[in-house]
Amino acid sequence: MEITDIKVQVNEYRESFKKADVSIVLDDALVLTELEIIKGQLGLFVSYPSYKNKITNIIYFKSTALRKKIQNAILKEYVKVLSYIPARN
């Protein structure tokens, strides 16, 4: 699967643990929405949609390599988007 588009919307509250909302397109055919970039104790990670009031994820990866590829691409795009946003005083 190839990543054909990533959209990152940075959270305006920079002190929040939720850093951005993300949508991603795979193979110009599959759109994954409601992904989030979260700042955890070990750094940034991508959180995938889950059922409300449950810990059960809606999206599962059979391939660890694909999960890592997607996460790395999303975090790279997040850093790129941040570089265009002026720092607040």
- Domain-by-domain residue ranges, the chain? 3-84
Q: pLDDT at position 89, please? A: 52
Token representation of residue 69: 């590829």
pLDDT band of residue 83 (cuts 50, 70, 90) is confident
| Among 42, 51, 54, 52, CA closest to 17 | 42
**Mean pLDDT estimate for the chain:** 89
Neighbours of 88 (CB within 10 A): 6
Q: pLDDT at position 56, please? A: 76
Class of 3-84 per CATH? alpha beta
Q: pLDDT at position 46, please? A: 94
Q: Answer positive or negative: Cα dihedral of 29, 66, 74, 41.
A: positive
Q: pLDDT at position 23, please? A: 96
Q: pLDDT at position 72, please? A: 96
Q: pLDDT at position 61, please? A: 87
Please give the average per-residue pLDDT across 28-42, as a whole number: 94
